[in-house]
Amino acid sequence: MKVARTIESVRRLVKVTQSAGKKIGFVPTMGALHTGHLSLIEAARKDCDFVVVSIFVNPTQFGPSEDFKKYPRPIEADLKMCRKAGVDLVFVPAPKAMYPGENLTWVDVEKLSEPLCGKFRPGHFRGVATVCAKLFNIVLPDIAYFGQKDAQQAIVIKRMVADLNMPLKIVVCPTVREKNGLAMSSRNQYLTAQQKKDAAYIYKSLQKCRQMIRQGNTDAKKIIAEMRKVLKQIPSGKIQYVSIVDAESLQNIDKVAGKVLAAVTVKIGPTRLIDNILIDASER
The per-residue b/e assignment along 240-257, b for 16 or more CB within 10 angstroms, e otherwise, is: bebbbbebeebeebeebe
- Is position 39 an interface residue for ligand AMP (rule: CB under 6 A)? yes
Which residues lie below 8 Å from residue 252, measured CB to CB, with a gap of 6+?
115, 220, 243, 244, 245
CB of 134 to ligand AMP, least distance (A): 15
Q: Give the C-alpha separation, 165 to 109, whole Å.
A: 14
> What is the smallest separation between the CB atom of 52 and ligand AMP, expressed in angstroms?
13
Q: Is 29 in the site for ligand AMP (CB under 6 A)?
A: yes
**Identified catalytic residue from 25, 27, 37, 190:** 37
Distance of alpha carbon 216 from alpha carbon 120, whole angstroms? 31
Q: Which stretch binds ligand AMP (CB under 6 A): 3-11, 169-177, 231-239, 266-274?
A: 169-177
Q: Which residues of 58-90 are buried (b: 16+ CB within 10 A; e: fewer)?
A: bebbbeeeeeeeebbeeeeebbebbeebebbbb
Examine residue 185 and tell whether it contacts ligand AMP (CB under 6 A): yes
Q: Please report whether residue 36 would count as binding ligand AMP according to CB under 6 A.
A: yes
Q: Which position among 184, 231, 242, 256 is part of the footprint of ligand AMP (CB under 6 A)?
A: 184
Cβ closer to ligand AMP: 212 or 272?
272
Catalytic status, residue 37: yes
> Where on the chain is the footprint of ligand AMP (CB under 6 A)?
29-30, 36-37, 39-40, 146-147, 149-150, 173, 175-176, 183-186
Query: What residues act catalytically?
Result: 37
